[in-house]
Amino acid sequence: MRFNAKDLALLAKRPSGCFDKEGKLKICRVVGDEKLIEPRERWCRLKGNLLFLMKNKSSEASEVVILERCWVVEFRSKTDVSIILKFQSGEPDLYLEAASKPDCEAWAVALGEANSEGLRNKIQQLQRLIMEIKEERAADEARQFLPSSQVDSLREPQFTSIQRIANEPKLEFSLACKGLVAATRDRKLNTFIQVSVVHPAEHILTRYSSTEIVEGTRDPLFLTGVTFPPEYPIYEETKIKLTVYDVKDKSQGTVRTSVLPDHKEPRADVGRSFLGYTTFRVGDLVKSKEQQLTLTLRTSDGGKTVGTIEVNLVKMGEFEDGEMDHITTDAQDQKFLCFLPLKSCSCGFLSATCAHNTENLERMTDRRAKEECALVHECTAPEGLSGKDNLPSLNAVLKNPICKLYRFPTSDNKWMRIREQMAETTLSFHVPKELINLHIKEDMRRNQELKDLGELAPHWDNMRKSVIAHCDQMLSMYQDTLAELGKHTGSSFKSSCSKGEKTLEFIPINLHLQRMHVHSPRLKDALYDVITVGAPAAHFQGFKNGGLRKLLSKFEAERRNTGYQCIYYSPENTAKAKEVLSNINHLQPLISSHADLLLNSASQHSPDSLKNSLKMLSEKTELFVHAFKDQLVRSALLALYTARPGCVLKKPAVPRNSAEEGGDLKHQDHPSQIKRQDSIPHHSEYDEEEWDRVWANVGKSLNCVIAMVDRLLEKDNSSKIKEGESDPSAADCKVLHAGGDWYEQLYPLVITLKDCMGEVVTRAKQSMAFVLLQELACGLPQCLMLTLRRDIVFSQALAGLVCGFIIKLHTSLHDQGFLQQLHTVGLLVQYEGLLSTYSEEAGMLEDMAVGISDLQKVMFKVIEAKSEDFLPIITGRREHYVIEVQLPAKMFELLPQEIKEGKLLRMYPVLFNVGINEQQTLAERFGDTTLQENINQENLELLKEYYNLFTEKMPPDCLPHFQEQNDLKGLLENLHQNIQAKRRKNVEIMWLAATICRKLNGVRFTCCKSAKDRTSMSVTLEQCSILRDEHQLHKDFFIRALDCMRREGCRIENVLKNVKCRKYAFNMIQLMAFPKYYRPPEGTYGKADT
C-alpha cells in the first residue's frame, strides 16, 4: 500500500479539534508476551483509521499505524491501564499504556471503532433505522401539499389506538430469549434486555425500560415485564426495539433504565457488551393469533444471528390461579439479579375506603399471574381508588408517586401480590412556610409588647433597646427565609444534597410516604405505611457544640448563674407568661364581641338571645379571670413597678415576699431568683393590693351584668302575664318601650365591664412582657439563636407529623375503633432513629430528640373543607399549635360526633434510636452511648403511659382480632428487657417498637441522617418481615424478596431522586460494621455524593 508522506505529515500537524482522540500513551512493540523495548511515552493522535505517533505534541509524526485488519485486546482488571492491538498480518503487536483506567477505556473504545469495518456497521445500522421510519416521513411530507382540514385529519386519528380496559395499562408483555450466542464458548451469559420505543409521529428512538439481569444461562427467562400506562402514547403503528446486552461486570452497578433519548445511553464498554437486537410493530403483537412473537436477534451489521427472543402479550384482566411449584420449575436453576424500570407512574394512593374494595386491584394484578416467578411491575391505580369523592384532600398533599408491583410465593405455595408505593408531599414546604409566618406574627407582637412597656429606668430601658434590636434582626431573618421559600418552584421535597442550604433549613429532608399494600390468597388486604424523613436537625448551624438537648441544658445552667443585671425566671414561668399573653390576645376580642351581642339582643328585646349571649359572655369572662390567678402576674407587676423611674413602695418588705410568692413553688430552691429580685432598685411605697382590686373588678362587673339581665327577664315575664290578660295592642307597645329600657339599663354596665377588662389587660400584658424581657436579656444572643435552632428542628418534625396524621386519617376513616381511640386517647407517633452517637450524628440525635418531644404541644382538629383547598391550616404560638385538617363533606360525615364538633386530638410522640453504622461501632468501643440509652429509656416510659391510658379508656374489642392485649404486654416487657440489656447495635429494640406501634394503630416514622440509605435498608427489612410474619412469605424467598425490594423497589428510586445515582452510599468497610440484614445486595452500593 502506497501513501503520500507529505499529506500524512500535514494531516498529523492539524489543530487538536480535528482529531477523533489524542493524548499521551506509553507505546512499544510486543512479540508473544515479551516487550521488544521498554514502553516510551508518545503523543498519539487518532484520525479515522490512522494512529499518528509523535515524540511530543509539536513534533513531526515518527510513525503511522493503519488500524485495519486488527482488533483491540483490553485487560479487564481494575488496576491494569494497558491495551494491545493485534494484527492479522502477523506483525508484532502494539502495546499501549494509558495514565488511568478511564483513559485506557476511552482509548479502547476509540481504537475499536476506528477501522472501516466499524464504520460500515454504523452506516448499515443507520440505513436500517432510516428504512424503518421512511413510511412515517412520507406521511409527514404529504401534509405540505394538503389543505389544512385534511392535514388535521392526518394527525392523531391516523394512528390506530389499542383497545383496552379503562384506566388499565395500554400494553403489557413479557420477554424470554433462547439460544443466545456468546463471544467465547465457555462464557456464561448474564443478560438483560433494553426496551426502546419509536413513536410513529416523532421518529425519535427513546429508551423506555429494561428487564432484570438473568445470570449464567443462554436461555434467560426474564421476570420483569414491560408495562405501558394508560396515558402513554402507544399505537399499533408504534415500533418497539429490543436490544440484548451481556453484563460482564455486575459490580459496575445497577443498569440505568430511565426514559432517556437513545443517544444518551451509557457507553457500551462500561460493564456490558452488545449481543443483538430486533424490532417489531405493536400491532403485529396485538393481532397475532397466539398473542406471541418469536423474533430473530441479529448483530449490529444485520448479518449474524445470535439467538431468538419471545415476546408474549400479557392479556388484560386474565388470571390463572396456580400453585408455585409448576410456576418456578424452569427458573430454579437460574440466578437472578433483578433491576426494574425507573419510570414512575401516576397512580394514586389507596385510602381506607379503597382498602376494603379490592376488585380493581385484583383485576390489575391477576393478569400478571401467568408470568413465571416474582414479577415486578410499574402500575397505575384504578379509577375507583383515586376518584373525586374520596381522595381530593389526599391528592392535595401527595405528589409524584412511584409504584411497583411484586409477586412472591407463600409458605403454602400460593402467590401473594405486593404493591409498593412512594410519594413526596407538598407539606414539605407548606407546613414550614405556615409556621414561619406564625413565628413572624408572634415575634412582631412580642416586640410591640416590649415597646408598650412604657417608661423604664435607664438600666431597664437600655436593656429593652438591646433586646428589641436583636429581635428585629431575627425577625428580618425569618422574613427573608419566608421570601426565599416563596420563590421555590419544582419538586416538593428537599434532597439530601441540600440539607446544608440556609434557605432550606426549615424544610424536612427527603420526606416521603412509603406504603406497602399486600393482597394475600387467604388473608384480607392490608396496608402498611411508614413516613421516611431525614432526622430533624439544624444542619446549616452545625453540631460543633452538640445539639439542642445539650445546648438547652447548658444555656439554662448559665442563665441561672449570670450577673444581677436582670431577673431570673424559670423556663416554666416564662412559658406561663407566654400562655397568659396568648390567652389575653385570644379572649379579649371574644369577650368584647359577646358583650356587643348582649347589647344587640337587649335592643331587640329578645329574651332567648339575651340568655344565650349572657351565657357565652359569662363563660369567656370566667376563663379570662382564671388566666390571671397565677401569682406570677403579681410578682411581675412588682418587678415592673420597681423598674419604673422614681417608683414608690408602700411596704418595705414586699419585694422578697412577692418574689417568694410569685415564683413557681417548684423552683424556690434557687436562691439566685430571690437575690436578683432583691437587687432591683426600689423605694419604700407600693400598694400590692391594687392589682387584686383591679382584677376583682372584672368579676364584680360581670356579676352586675348577670344580675341586671336576671332582673330584666323576671320583670319581662311578670309584665307579660299581667298584660296578656288586657288589650294585646297595648302589650305590644309596652314591649317596644321595654326594649329601649333593656339596652339603656345594660349599656353602662357592659361599658364598665369592658373598662375593667381593659385595665386588667394593660397591666397583665405589661407585666408578662417584662418577664419575657428578662428571659431575652439574660441570654442575648444565645437565647435567640437557640430559639431559631429549635424552630428549625420543630418545623422539620412538624411537617412529617402533619403528613403522617393526614395519611393515617384517610386510611382509617372506616375504622370506628381507631376513630374512637383518636378522640378518646390520642394518636401514638413512633419514630425509629438510626443515628449513631458519635461525632456530628450525636448532635443530630440531640436535635431530633428535642424536636420530637416538642411535638407534644401540637393538637389536631378536623374540620369540613369550605373550598377546594384541602391543605391544613396552622394556628397558635410556639408553646401550643393547633393543626386544622380539612376534609371534604362526604369524608367529614364519616367521623364521630366528638371529632366533628371540633375536639382537639392529642399526639404522643416517642423516639427509639439504635445506631447501626461504623460510627456507632466507634461510639460503643471508644466513645459514649449514654445519650441513646437515656433517650430509649425515657421514651419507653412515655410508651408505657400511652399503653396504660389506652387500656383504661378503650374497650378490649377495639383492637383487631389477631392483636390481643397479652401480646402487647409481652412486647412491652420484651422491649423493656432489650433496652435494659444495653447490647451493641440491638436492632431488636426497633423491631419491637415498630410492632407495638402498629398494634396500637400508631403512625410509623423511620429516620436516619438523610432518609436515603440506612432508612432504605430498614424500611425494606420491615416490609419483608411483615410479609414473613403476617402474610406467610415462603422462608426460602425472604432474602430474595429483600434483595428485590432493595434493587428495584421504590427505595432505589428515592436514592436516584436525591443524588442522581442508583447507588446506596455505602462501601465494603462500612457494611462490615452493619447488622447482617441491613446490608444491600452486591452492585447496589458504592461511592455516591450525599
Catalytic residues, by residue number, are 1008
* Cα distance between residue 828 and residue 852, in whole Å: 12
Residues 6+ apart with CB under 8 A from 166: 230, 383
Residues 6+ apart with CB under 8 A from 908: 826, 827, 828, 829, 856, 942, 945, 946
* Cα distance between residue 165 and residue 366, in whole Å: 14
Residues 6+ apart with CB under 8 A from 925: none
CA angle, residues 643, 648, 654, in degrees to nearest 5: 80
Are 95 and 47 in contact, with CB atoms under 8 Å apart? no
* Cα distance between residue 1011 and residue 536, in whole Å: 11
DSSP result, 720-786: HHHHHTS-HHHHHHHHHHHHHHHHHHHHHHHHHHHHHHHHHHHHHHHHHHHHHHHHHHTTTTHHHHH
Count the neighbouring beta carbons within 10 Å of the beta carbon of residue 1081. Answer: 17
SS3 207: strand
Instruction: Specify burial of residue 614 (Cβ count, 10 A radius: 0-12, 13-18, 19+).
Output: buried
Place of cell 451493641: 984
DSSP result, 849-917: HHHHHHGGGEEEEEEE-SSS----EEEEETTEEEEEEEE-HHHHTTS-HHHHTT--EEEEEEEEE---S
Instruction: Specify burial of residue 127 (Cβ count, 10 A radius: 0-12, 13-18, 19+).
Output: exposed
Cell of 692: 387584686
Sign of CA dihedral 389, 392, 394, 400: positive
* Cα distance between residue 398 and residue 935, in whole Å: 32
* Cα distance between residue 334 and residue 216, in whole Å: 7
SS3 401: strand
* Cα distance between residue 273 and residue 291, in whole Å: 30
* Cα distance between residue 723 and residue 506, in whole Å: 70
Are 602 and 746 in contact, with CB atoms under 8 Å apart? yes
Q: Strands 526-532, 415-425: parallel, antiparallel or unpaired by DSSP?
A: unpaired
- Nearest Cα residue to 540 out of 775, 770, 791: 791
